[in-house]
Amino acid sequence: MNVLLVFAHPEPRSLNGALKDFALQRLRAQGHQVEVSDLYAMGWKAVLDGADFPARDAHAPLDTVGDSLQAYQSGTLTADVLAEHAKLRRADVLILQFPLWWFSLPAILKGWIDRVWACGFAYGVGEHSATHWGDRYGEGTFRGKRAMLMVTAGGWESHYAARGVNGPIDDILFPIQHGMLYYPGFAVLSPFVVYHTSRLDAARFAQTTATLGARLDALASTPPIPFRPQNGGDYTIPALALREDLAAGRSGFGVHVEG
Ligand code: FAD
């Protein structure tokens, strides 16, 4: 398979750097073709602004959605974004690797999503009708591809358990896994998370890479998180609310997962 690993850590000698090196070696040993977008090393521009749409009318107010669609359709997005689109088109699997910073992505990786997920490419795709509300949440450009998060967190596993003070890890990652990955069509595998990073010694590093290696070996066969498809009948259109008879009496992120 072709794997694209997007790496967001400023220090190559970090734990994240060591896990990236391990992952690349393991994936290549398994015969996969691997490309890496090392965002800090690339000097990735993290903010979306008018410079992202060089062909736009500079006198008109910036239209972040409309200018994105126009630039995507006319092939005038910037070269750095077009290069990421080409890598994504080649990829069967996308891995986003990052340290959890303030319960989310480091800004440089959020900026990669903001700029690369252009209108017409990752959103604003497909027709809207009485039964179909655009190609998203299970449909879209990345349908048929898989994605997985590789995350490190300073907090303990118990801090991220169902009743942990930080909130459950599935809820914290929901906007990324459901909103950024499932929305444009990826099948999302459960995340690989390393907790309690400040107390990571050589023994736990060995244990961590053993688990990570097994996850990487199973990239093609691991069943994805069963997020509910938007256009499959579970949601009313156009309200896009889950039918009352499904997950009855429940609310929250978890209702968007089948079962
Ligand atoms: P490093 O600091 O590089 O290393 C961590 C440990 O791993 C060290 O003990 C190191 O000795 C060891 N190690 C490194 N490489 C190896 C190796 N090759 N072999 C063996 N051991 C090794 N945490 C949360 O839980 N929630 C948050 O919201 C959160 N927000 C944060 C916000 C900011 C801005 C920052 C800076 C940190 C935040 N943290 C948070 C903590 C953060 O998630 C961790 O610092 C990060 O995940 C650790 O990853 P690292 O690659 O930077 O580790």
Q: Is the pLDDT of residue 130 over 90?
A: no
Q: The domain 2-224: what is its CATH number? A: 3.40.50.360
Let me know: does 46 contact 235? Beta carbons within 8 Å: no
Model pLDDT, residue 128: 87
Q: What is the mean pLDDT of the chain?
A: 97
Closest Cα to atom 4 of ligand 1 = 15
Query: pLDDT band for position 207 (50/70/90)?
Result: very high
90: number of Cβ within 10 Å: 12
The pLDDT value recorded for residue 191 is 98
Ligand 1 site-directed mutation target among 197, 201, 204, 212, most atoms within 8 Å of CB = 197
pLDDT reported for residue 219: 98
Decide if 37 contacts 46 (C-beta within 8 A): no
Q: Pick the residue whose CA is nearest to atom 45 on ligand 1.
A: 154
- CA of 246 relative to ligand 1 center, distance in Å: 39
For residue 17, give the ligand 1 atom closest to its CA.
51
- State residue 70's pLDDT score: 98
How far apart, in whole angstroms, are the C-alpha atoms of residue 99 and residue 153?
6
Mutate-to-test residue for ligand 1 from 25, 97, 100, 158, highest number of ligand atoms within 8 A of CB: 100
Domain chopping of the chain, boundaries: 2-224
Question: Which atom of ligand 1 is closest in space to residue 155's alpha carbon?
Answer: 25
pLDDT tens per residue, range 171-202: 999 999 999 999 999 999 999 999 999 989 99
Residue 231: its pLDDT value, please?
95
Kindly give the number of the ligand 1 atom that is closest to the alpha carbon of 194.
47
Banded pLDDT at 168 (limits 50, 70, 90): very high
What is the radius of gyration, based on Cα positions, of the chain?
19
Q: Which helix (H) or strand (E) holds 246?
A: none
pLDDT tens digit string along 71-114?
999 999 999 999 999 999 999 999 999 999 999 999 999 999 99
For residue 6, the one-letter residue type is: V
What residue has token string 């079962």? 259
pLDDT at site 26: 98
